[in-house]
Structure 1
Amino acid sequence: MLASIFDIISSNLTQFWHFTGFYNCDYTNLIMICFGLLFIYLAIKHDFEPMLLVPIGFGILVGNIPFQPGNEIGVYEEGSVLNILYQGVVKGWYPPLIFLGIGAMTDFGALIANPKLMLVGAAAQFGIFGAYMVALAIGFMPDQAGAIAIIGGADGPTAIFLSGKLAPNLLGAIAVCAYSYMALVPVIQPPIMRLCTTKKERVIHMKPARKVTKNEKILFPIVGLLLTCFFVPSGLPLLGMLFFGNLLRESGVTTRLAKTASNAMTDIVTMILGLTVGTSTQASQFLTLSTVKIFFLGAMAFIIATFAGVLFVKFFNLFLSKDNKLNPLIGNAGVSAVPMAARISNDMGLKYDPRNYLLMHAMGPNVAGVIGSAVAAGVLLGFLG
């Protein structure tokens, strides 16, 4: 009798041991856990996009706890809680909600006051199409190449939205890559900005922007929606929500809705999005040669976008009068990392001239980059989807 009880307990303990993460652990899980800890460290210690990197980093830890398949635990197991939350990423529910919040918190006044800055934002999108051509050249399928290339727009929600439509199998790698490089914008962009500009160009003082009227701010999201979405209807989920959020902000009669969209709702969606994107980086799905290529292409797309934005401003200045020239340091802000890229422009300007405040000027191409990346995603989805 005692022997039988001992055998049962022994069998139960053996079964429990086989159930634990220690038994199921592989070295690849430990590698990914180290990546998660690195993300959390960079967010807390160096303040690199903590609102994004803390949820993603912790999600990487959650997603790489080893377990036995079949218990409805993992993000890829149908019916699990994580899988249900992850559907918002795969099906593209979360990115439009974040764009609604972005629209509600963004002042497009700098762009309305100086519409030619839209061209700077458009020029920076060259990083997307440059990376697309390189991705094709190194063997990715057209739909995969398009999903990877959008990383160059420096817009995490757009990258998630497009990769969910075009290359769901690469979504985790693309999302983590996009947010990683967004956090590293302060490291990547300044050396390129210094390389592309002269000391004389860095101290150019731009004319103060004109005052934008309330009616102009109200009309902008309406006209912007009609112009962009008639051109690329496939970008409607992102652009429609972006301009809707901005109308809530500027109308003056929906302040409560604008505050909800830009604060509580955006924070909640960002937390869930970051956590589920992190959990999708299970070692078996993430540690592949394709992931290495994606990170290489993502870095290249960011670099091309920064070069294109700064060099375009220098080229554009050839056609502007001396009093109307643009400071090339705002060219980097053409990427969609709002407002980080604009702050980099301002910090660089102040470094070379303590009286040269470029923040408001840089916000023009910066918010144009938000629109430009969504339009680029719509274009790619239109001919690849």
Structure 2
Amino acid sequence: MELFEKVYRMTALGDLVAYPSYILMILIGFGLLYLGIAKKYEPLLLVPIAFGVLLANFPGGGMGVEKIPEGLTLPQIAEQYGIMNFVYYALIKTGFLPPIIFMGVGALTDFGPMLRNLRLAFFGAAAQIGIFCVLMAAVAMGFTLKEAASLGIIGGADGPTAIYTTIKLAPHLLGPIAIAAYSYMALVPVIIPFVVRFSMTKKELLINMKEQDKLFPSTKPIKSLQALKIMFPIALGSIVAILVPSSVPLVGFLMFGNLVKEIGVATGRLYQATSETILNSATVFLGLSVGATMTTKAFLNTQTLMIVVGGFIAFAISILGGIMAVKVYNLFAKKKINPLIGATGLSAVPMAARVANEIAIKHDPSNHLLQYAMASNISGVIGSAVAAGVLISFLG
């Protein structure tokens, strides 16, 4: 019996029975794994995050991220608090990984559709309205300004941006905000049609962008798109650095990644490293360590529920803001724009653009607006990063 008792104490069964909250968090982890594996909702990020949740909530494993006293060195953190806390405080708390991921995103991004349709890029800025609407609402509900800003940034539909902003302003909310941000990004195919259903008319859905181009052709064609695509990241990176310096870690790395892609063969090795090896490694560590912040103490509370609800509202308002901006534009312009393009002003690239294109084709099989939607969608990446920089400047 003494042997059986020692074996029982060695296992985690006693803690699971004594603290059922562990079981609930483990079930949440399994649920996220199901969404990532079976439903294929952002699997590259949701699977590592979900597994991080499991690792953090197996009692006795010592893999949950904790609040650590200041003054400890990284080796001391690793020795006293375990490998997951070491990874978190070395790579996440320092703000290192989100810009690295942005560099990889930049290497995978083609700004060509946006440069060919620059007027559509403004709707990516309009879609950021959800960030500031929810920020004000969150303050009214009792969140601090920094917490409200971290909650509102979910409306930008950009996981790395949400994580970076939260690290800088409200690191204690990192777990639930990261989960909400990536979950709603994965649910873009559900949320955009939901908002469109209640905000657009049949006539607006049938606006054909290619027909509009034929009726009102561009008077200033681009002579050398490739040269423009090389100059664009340099110029935009410089302008943003001067106007919003706090957004340089995100926008600067995004533009650098894009530049090495557009230069071509001369920087081919850099492009391959940023878009594959570095990006994939950063994604693994980011997902696991963010998931490990979702301990029972950090996640199972009323504040987390408010974050989940507030994140959905921010997402929906951002989509609606982009749609309404196009509607206002159409009141004064001869060349009409399908408001679905405004709905893609989120940073969920290219998922939002694909969803908008599918909705358009459903109503008119000839209305392929993917390249137009990508213009707004890509600009949303830049818009959310700049919005994050503004919030960090004012509140950080």
Name the TM-score class by shorter chain. over 0.9
Deviation at 1:54, TM superposition (A): 1.2
Residue aligning to 1:235: 247
Residue aligning to 1:18: 9
Distance 1:204 1:95 in 2: 38
The number of aligned residues is: 371
Q: Is the 8 A contact 2:63 2:292 kept in 1?
A: no
Of 159, 176, 179 in structure 2, the residue corresponding to residue 176 of structure 1 is 179
Deviation at 1:18, TM superposition (A): 3.2
Deviation at 1:41, TM superposition (A): 1.1
Residue aligning to 1:303: 316
Comparing 282-291 with 372-381, greater Cα deviation is found at 282-291
Residue aligning to 2:33: 40
Q: Is the 8 A contact 2:64 2:294 kept in 1?
A: no
Q: Is the 8 A contact 2:261 2:271 kept in 1?
A: yes
Residue aligning to 2:87: 85
Distance 1:269 1:43 in 2: 18
Distance 1:171 1:332 in 2: 27
Asked if 1:245 corresponds to 2:257, the answer is yes
Distance 2:329 2:25 in 1: 45
Q: How does 1:168-207 map to 2 (within 5 A)?
A: 168-207=171-210
Distance 2:169 2:9 in 1: 38
Residue aligning to 1:3: none
Q: How does 1:272-283 map to 2 (within 5 A)?
A: 272-283=285-296
Deviation at 1:314, TM superposition (A): 1.1
Distance 1:73 1:347 in 2: 42
Deviation at 1:20, TM superposition (A): 2.5
Deviation at 1:44, TM superposition (A): 2.0
Q: Which runs of 5+ in 2 are unaligned?
A: 69-76
Of 352, 360, 372 in structure 2, the residue corresponding to residue 341 of structure 1 is 352
The one-letter amino acid of 1:75's match is: V
Q: Which runs of 5+ in 1 are unaligned?
A: 1-5
Of 37, 40, 44 in structure 2, the residue corresponding to residue 51 of structure 1 is 44
For the residue of structure 2 that corresponds to 1:326, the secondary structure is coil
Deviation at 1:206, TM superposition (A): 1.3
**Runs of 4+ deviating beyond 4 Å:** 12-16, 208-212
Residue aligning to 1:326: 337
String of CA shifts for 1:51-73, please: whole Å, max 9, x gaps: 121111111111110127xxx54
Deviation at 1:17, TM superposition (A): 3.2
String of CA shifts for 1:195-224, please: whole Å, max 9, x gaps: 211111112111468666111101100111
String of CA shifts for 1:135-177, please: whole Å, max 9, x gaps: 1000011111111111110000001101011001111111111
Deviation at 1:130, TM superposition (A): 0.5
Asked if 1:354 corresponds to 2:365, the answer is yes
Residue aligning to 2:150: 147
Of 204, 228, 246 in structure 2, the residue corresponding to residue 216 of structure 1 is 228
Residue aligning to 1:74: 64
Distance 1:372 1:118 in 2: 9
Asked if 1:102 corresponds to 2:76, the answer is no
Deviation at 1:13, TM superposition (A): 5.9
Residue aligning to 1:254: 267
Task: Output the TM-score relative to the length of structure 2.
Answer: 0.90
Deviation at 1:237, TM superposition (A): 0.5
Q: Is the 8 A contact 1:123 1:334 kept in 2?
A: yes
Q: Is the 8 A contact 2:209 2:338 kept in 1?
A: yes
The one-letter amino acid of 2:58's match is: I
Residue aligning to 2:330: 317
Task: Output the TM-score relative to the length of structure 1.
Answer: 0.93
Distance 1:59 1:371 in 2: 29
The one-letter amino acid of 2:65's match is: V
Deviation at 1:329, TM superposition (A): 1.0
For the residue of structure 2 that corresponds to 1:254, the secondary structure is helix
Q: Is the 8 A contact 1:18 1:24 kept in 2?
A: no
For the residue of structure 1 that corresponds to 2:297, the secondary structure is helix
Q: Is the 8 A contact 2:109 2:258 kept in 1?
A: yes
Deviation at 1:319, TM superposition (A): 2.0
Of 353, 375, 381 in structure 2, the residue corresponding to residue 364 of structure 1 is 375
User: Identity over aligned residues, as a percent?
Assistant: 47
